[in-house]
Structure 1
Amino acid sequence: MADIQADGGEVTEIRLGPVADSDGLVDVWFTEPDGRRLVVPAFASGGEWKVRYSSLAAGTHHYEVGTPTVPNLAGVAGTIDVTARPDQQRLAARGPLRIAPDGRHLEHSDGTPFFWLADTWWYGFAERLQLTEFREFAAARAEQGFSVIQIVAGLYPESLPQAAAARSRSGWVWDEEAGAPNPEWFDEADHRIAALADQGLVPCIVGAWGHYYELMDSGQLARHWREMIARWAAYPVVWCLAGEASLTPAVDVDDPELRSALEAETTEEALRDLAAHEHATIEHQLKTLNDVARTVRSADPFGRLVTIHSVPFAKPWEFLEDESVVDFWLLQTGHQGHQALAPAVDQMQAALDHRPAKPVINGEPSYEGIAGSSWQDIQRFMFWSHVLSGAAGHSYGAHGIWGFNTSSVPGLYSGLAPHWRDAADLPGSRQLGLGRRMLAALPWHEFEPHPEWLSPSAHPGDRLLPYAAGLREGPRVFYFPPNAYLTNCFRYSAIWFHELGDRRWRAELIDPVTGAVEREFVVEPEPDGSARLVGGAGFLTPLPSWADWLVVLHPEGGPR
């Protein structure tokens, strides 16, 4: 009989034996029922060596300590009997994420399509967020429809080593005196990663913010990543190599050589000039990152997906010596509210057009409430414009939540922020959750963008016009941004659907704020396959109001 019984996908923790002062690093060899061997790193916790393992392969799995230099673990071996479970609603049972066959979307290992809707909790391990609060908030976000939480493993944005804002109850993630990860920090963090998985939320774990690839050497960062892999790779996680990969530790705004960059006409020009000024530092930083990226790929026995997070207007593939070290792109497109809308779609489209093709997600659009702007209408535009352009999902963020701001930490570099509990009630998060649920009722993972199905429609010269995507035989989804976004307020006075064929279509006019169907009607194409949208609030628009709207077309029967 096996030593341990486990459900398929369940994370099993095995205690191997006591830690001795002379011990080095420990690896454990696992052999699956089909003979495949995995080398899984162990970790030290509470004076013991432990290892975590999970598999969907039913049958008996064997393990043995594979590090002969640790004599007190010599001969430690055993078996795990993995049993498949029929409960396919569990995250663990559906399996970790992988790239779908179309190369554009994500799916579970059982083939279930996965829509990425992330909330941004960069400082989610900080002490100011209690474990009970973390669990309650995770449950709330799961209930709203989120599927991913983006979180940084202690080496945070907008802070330096040992900063007060970066502390957890057990100290900091890196023990400067020991020159090694702080095991108590990771013991505490373990509860939070498990809490996310328990709620069906995929942890997207950022190993370090970009500037730490300059502040720490490749050996230290490789050791940091090994601890992460040992602790969390058995969970259905996603790894993010770095946040803002090319962001350097600090910029002296009083440096006369930087004034021309900081006073540039646009953010894009300023960031380009700053990167040129910091070229030597960025080059060294990215060299370290690429060294570590290869280590992460080779060290993770479970092969979890890997991504990288960019800075606005930067092309993340240009950070990498070998693009194959990442599986999909996680963009950042800027935090300038309305001014960031068209550039965000431009950056999304550039990533979608890049070859070899990979899934693309905007991992950091303009946060709701940041700079007193980017409210829920902007969140809806970002979501629908990106998804209908071909994105594999979308990430949400709220000013106050990403840093888990409180009265003790009221803000970081980006200024004062609301208390995270107040930010948690901002309406954009709920409205994006509704968006994901609406799409879940449709074959969204098969959709392709079709701007030719609609006029007017968004194009490179005007990204704020409507978007269209779907299947030729239906369904088809159309998003109409609010009238206030239009450069010409009369552009909606004549809205036409195109390439409808010779069949009737059942139309639903949906409010993206509430998800409610405002009205249903039948669309009957003209002989050329076009149909004009009629009704509405007056001659300026056939839509019910000047707000943003969705129209979904479903085929009705066969040809007329």
Structure 2
Amino acid sequence: MVMMKLVWIVIWMLSFIHLKVGIAQQLTVLPSKSYLQTSDGKPFIWIGDTAWELFHKLNREEVDHYLTMRQKQGFTVIYAVILAEHEGLTVPNAYGEVPLRGQNPATPNLRYFEHVDYVINKAQSLGLRLAVLPTWGNHVPNARDGKRSYIFTPKNAYQYGNFLSDRYQDKPIIWILGGDRNVDDNQAKYIWDRLAEGLQQRNDDKQLISYHPAGESSSAYWFHKSTWLDFNMYQTGHARRSMPGYQYAEAHRLLDPKKPFLDAEPAYEDIPIKFWEYLSKRPAEELIGSVFDTSGIILDRDYFDAGFFTDKDVRQQAYWGLLSGAMGFSYGNNAVWQFVDAGKKCVIPSLYTWREALTRPGAEQIKHLRFAMENWHFPDLFSDQSLIYGVNRPGTSHIRAATNADMSCVCVYTPVSQVIVLNLPLSADTIYKVSWFDPRNGGIQQEEKILSGGPVEFIPPAALDDCLLILELKK
């Protein structure tokens, strides 16, 4: 028994030493306060995947498969939660360990964190950054979960944050507080503030911090002027198609002080629209065998008669947000965030297992999104809706436009095939290279066009549905 303890001590020491090796470039807020940049001054392309249950549910072989796939698809950030929402305190991880001793954040179980260490190191080896939630929001007092006992207090929140700061101070991590919960009173706000203070103890501003709120809310409501909040997150959520995320972006651009922002949770691919309404109609036990099986795989799609969000919904929110000033984009798939698998319990019924869902169209199209962001220098663009001539209604056909300081590049996204009329303030004949970018497959169709200012019509090629129009000044 003594020998076994010594072995585990040695393993833990080696794991901890390994965590100190290979410090990645830290992220900082761009001087413009609209994007993040690496320490060498390059804009950071934030394309995230919500893998909330990653630490809790997957073994190391599965972790390797998931992270490698996402890296190949062009993702740069992976969201994961240490104290997961669904039985994260009581159901062990793949190695039989729960995260806390006695469900006390002040006494973390180091054996559990060995697996967290592995995931963080594997992500780093692939060039990925982890956006780590120390806890899901349901473990901190909040109105949504009601009057019950919660594990966090101001004291142990600080102690837990201090532990995480010490253990991961040199890792390429972005800390995300919250977790689909709003801040409903001063007690809750104080707990989150103390957790942030603990995380900053050995941070030296090397690791950025934000807050993930509930649907149709923003971190700015409670923390915008908090010194620990480096950028804002809002959540447009899963309630309806064509949620006007651009309106959230427009509001965040006006805040003082100026901070970067993004939608931390737009509609997930394959999730039932307003899923909560369908799951509250009848007890889940009555739906097993008819609507979904014991693993939560959906058998009767028609039961969810409002339908499911698709890859087009994903693209719409991505390009709307980015051309409205968001610093990046967060993707999610209903099967992947909860890692749905045969023989295991899931939370929201799913169309696929997580392995099948890894290659769903929305995920495969991320590489095209990343190409567009890098090729047309999205960090240099700013939203300019004055470029859109005529009526531009909210809803499914809403158009977004952005340009750079000298108008040498203009990007316009339309979610449907329609004539785009631009009001270009040009004083003389100017030659632009006109590109039509298909976000479904990365295809580009190009032509040259002489423009003289004023309203100019652009008609998308017949094969395109939603698409990106790019005008580049020919020098």
What TM-score bracket applies, with the shorter chain setting the length? 0.7 to 0.9
Counterparts of 1:349 and 1:373, CA distance in 2: 27
Q: What is residue 303 of structure 1 aligned with on the other side?
A: 206
Counterparts of 2:256 and 2:40, CA distance in 1: 27
Bigger relative contact order (CA 8 A; separation at least 6): 2
Q: What is residue 67 of structure 2 aligned with on the other side?
A: 138
Does the 8 Å CA contact 1:106/1:114 hold for their aligned counterparts? yes
Amino acid at match of 1:448: F
Check if 1:525 corresponds to 2:451: yes
The change in CA–CA distance for 1:117 and 1:48 in structure 2 (over 3 A counts) is: closer
Write the deviation string for residues 177-211 of structure 1: whole angstroms up to 9, x where unpaired.
78610100001211110000111101110111112
Check if 1:123 corresponds to 2:75: no
Check if 1:439 corresponds to 2:373: yes
Check if 1:390 corresponds to 2:318: no
Q: What is residue 356 of structure 1 aligned with on the other side?
A: 257
Aligned partner of residue 551 in structure 1, secondary structure: strand
| Residue of 459, 469, 473 corresponding to 1:551 | 469
Counterparts of 2:233 and 2:420, CA distance in 1: 37
Check if 1:169 corresponds to 2:95: yes
Write the deviation string for residues 374-412 of structure 1: whole angstroms up to 9, x where unpaired.
100000001100000011010100001011111233421
Amino acid at match of 1:533: F
Counterparts of 2:12 and 2:50, CA distance in 1: 34
Does the 8 Å CA contact 2:368/2:441 hold for their aligned counterparts? yes
What is the 5 A alignment of 1:78-93? Answer: 92=24
- How big is the shift at 1:228? 2.1
Counterparts of 2:220 and 2:435, CA distance in 1: 40
Rg: which structure is higher? Answer: 1
Does the 8 Å CA contact 1:475/1:554 hold for their aligned counterparts? yes
Counterparts of 1:520 and 1:108, CA distance in 2: 33
Amino acid at match of 1:121: A
Q: What is residue 366 of structure 1 aligned with on the other side?
A: 267
Counterparts of 1:393 and 1:108, CA distance in 2: 14
- How big is the shift at 1:422? 1.4
Q: What is residue 341 of structure 1 aligned with on the other side?
A: 243
The change in CA–CA distance for 1:124 and 1:306 in structure 2 (over 3 A counts) is: same
Check if 1:157 corresponds to 2:61: no
Amino acid at match of 1:323: S
Aligned partner of residue 326 in structure 2, secondary structure: coil
- How big is the shift at 1:453? 1.8
- How big is the shift at 1:554? 1.1
Q: What is residue 96 of structure 1 aligned with on the other side?
A: 26
Counterparts of 2:420 and 2:135, CA distance in 1: 50
Write the deviation string for residues 307-345 of structure 1: whole angstroms up to 9, x where unpaired.
11111222312333952111001221111241x522x22
Amino acid at match of 2:402: A
Does the 8 Å CA contact 2:88/2:98 hold for their aligned counterparts? no
Counterparts of 2:13 and 2:64, CA distance in 1: 27
- How big is the shift at 1:445? 1.2
Counterparts of 1:160 and 1:290, CA distance in 2: 23
The change in CA–CA distance for 1:310 and 1:47 in structure 2 (over 3 A counts) is: closer
Structure having the higher strand fraction is 1
Does the 8 Å CA contact 1:181/1:223 hold for their aligned counterparts? no
Aligned partner of residue 234 in structure 2, secondary structure: strand
- How big is the shift at 1:136? 2.1
- How big is the shift at 1:46? 4.7
Counterparts of 2:231 and 2:194, CA distance in 1: 19
Counterparts of 2:465 and 2:351, CA distance in 1: 28
Give TM-score scaled by structure 1 length: 0.70
Query: CA RMSD of the aligned region, Å?
Result: 2.7
The change in CA–CA distance for 1:524 and 1:246 in structure 2 (over 3 A counts) is: same
> Which stretch of structure 1 is more off in the superposition, 450-459 or 176-185?
450-459
Counterparts of 1:147 and 1:325, CA distance in 2: 23
Aligned residue pair count = 422
Amino acid at match of 1:307: S
Counterparts of 1:150 and 1:458, CA distance in 2: 34
Counterparts of 2:103 and 2:139, CA distance in 1: 17
Check if 1:239 corresponds to 2:175: yes
What is the 5 A alignment of 1:74-473? Answer: 92=24, 95-127=25-57, 129-153=58-82, 155-159=83-87, 161-162=89-90, 164=91, 167-176=93-102, 180-214=107-141, 215-216=150-151, 217-246=153-182, 279=184, 282-301=185-204, 303-320=206-223, 322-338=225-241, 341-342=243-244, 344-371=245-272, 372-412=307-347, 414-416=348-350, 418-456=352-390, 458=392, 461=394, 464-471=397-404, 472-473=406-407
- How big is the shift at 1:436? 1.1
Unpaired stretches in structure 1, ≥5 consecutive residues: 1-18, 21-43, 57-91, 248-278, 484-491, 535-541
Write the deviation string for residues 120-159 of structure 1: whole angstroms up to 9, x where unpaired.
11000124x2212211221221111111001111x11244
Aligned partner of residue 269 in structure 2, secondary structure: coil
Give TM-score scaled by structure 2 length: 0.82
Amino acid at match of 2:324: S
Does the 8 Å CA contact 2:209/2:230 hold for their aligned counterparts? yes
Counterparts of 1:47 and 1:114, CA distance in 2: 33
The change in CA–CA distance for 1:176 and 1:552 in structure 2 (over 3 A counts) is: same
Q: Name the % identity.
A: 21
Q: What is residue 282 of structure 2 aligned with on the other side?
A: none
- How big is the shift at 1:291? 2.3
- How big is the shift at 1:510? 1.7
Counterparts of 2:329 and 2:103, CA distance in 1: 40
The change in CA–CA distance for 1:292 and 1:399 in structure 2 (over 3 A counts) is: same
